[in-house]
A and B are shown apart, each in its own frame.
Chain A
Amino acid sequence: MPDIDTVNVLTVPGRYKEIRRICEFVADGAAQAGFDEDTIFHLELCCDEASTNIIEHAYGEEGIGTIIISYEKVDDAFRIVLQDNGQTFDPTTIPPPPALGSGNESPEELTSQLRIGGLGWHFIRNLMDEVSFTSDRQAGNRLVMVKRLAPKDVP
């Protein structure tokens, strides 16, 4: 039998000031799940960036709709789901920022608009173990991010 926790759910208005609540909500759950402080920091950052994307791209501005965030732990997987009813905006289609290649890139190349634009999603891609996005007219947009507990963290 898999070890399944209750699904914890928080619904907040799609406003920037609410993102802190989302981060705290997920950080509490991640701490209970047994993640270390560095990983909790990463999870907060990913939820912050995903929520910002919802406000900026799915809703287009603040105060248009709600963000529903939930998490659950199934075995070693901590699964975070963000849902909204805005425009379909699939963040997984954002091209990755130009890669850091030789290590000899100039500061201008490193800070080009192209690189800066996709930083939030760059963090999500790099810090989460699995990311997927679905959208349908009734259920709205749904971003699923999974982080697995490292063996040393599994309670």
Chain B
Amino acid sequence: MSVWHEKLPQTNAWLVGVNGRLDQSQIPDLEETLNKLLEDGQCHLLVDMTHTTYINSGGLRCLVSAWRRAKADNGSIVLCGLNTRLQEIFTMVGFDKVFTIFGDCAGAKATIRHEKKP
């Protein structure tokens, strides 16, 4: 289980990944990673959830809080790679209409490369 981040090459965006369960054991790490990037002025973020196996309301709150901050800085938070269970959770609370969600992370990266050239 881990939270990781790296610069998305050829863009001004950052990739943030969550491996394992996005529950109370990892929410503080994700919160810290997202907050640090946003404080550094990095407000175009792609969250790779390909290896995220679980999310609870705290995980959703964490992502929404970062979405608010990014939006206030004219940035964006895009999600990719959600499995069907996670997608169902986002849909159940309407957050599929809040976040731009790509099923495929390669497609998300290609779109961001096209739109967010430095």
List chain A positions with a Cβ less than 8 A from chain B: 16-17, 19-20, 38, 41, 44-45, 48-49, 52, 97, 100, 103, 105, 107, 110-111, 115-116, 119-120, 122-123, 126
Main secondary structure of the interface of B (DSSP, over half): helix
Say which residue of B68, B85, B92, B97 sits within 8 Å of A41 (CB atoms): B85
Q: Which residues of A contact B21 (CB under 8 A)?
A: 20
In the assembled complex, the CB of B25 is this many whole angstroms from the nearest CB of chain A, namely 6
Is the interface on chain B under 10, 10 to 19, 20 to 34, or 35 or more residues?
20 to 34
Main secondary structure of the interface of A (DSSP, over half): helix
Known contacts A100-B94, A110-B95; A17 and B54 CB within 8 A of each other: no
Q: List 27 A-B contacts (CB under 8 A).
A: A17-B25, A19-B23, A19-B24, A20-B21, A38-B85, A44-B54, A45-B54, A48-B23, A48-B56, A49-B56, A52-B56, A100-B93, A100-B94, A103-B97, A105-B94, A105-B97, A110-B94, A110-B95, A111-B64, A111-B68, A111-B95, A116-B60, A116-B61, A119-B60, A120-B56, A123-B57, A123-B89
In the assembled complex, the CB of A37 is this many whole angstroms from the nearest CB of chain B, namely 8
Instruction: Give bound CA distance, A97 to B57, whole Å.
Output: 13
Nearest chain A residue, comparing its CB with the CB of B83:
A41
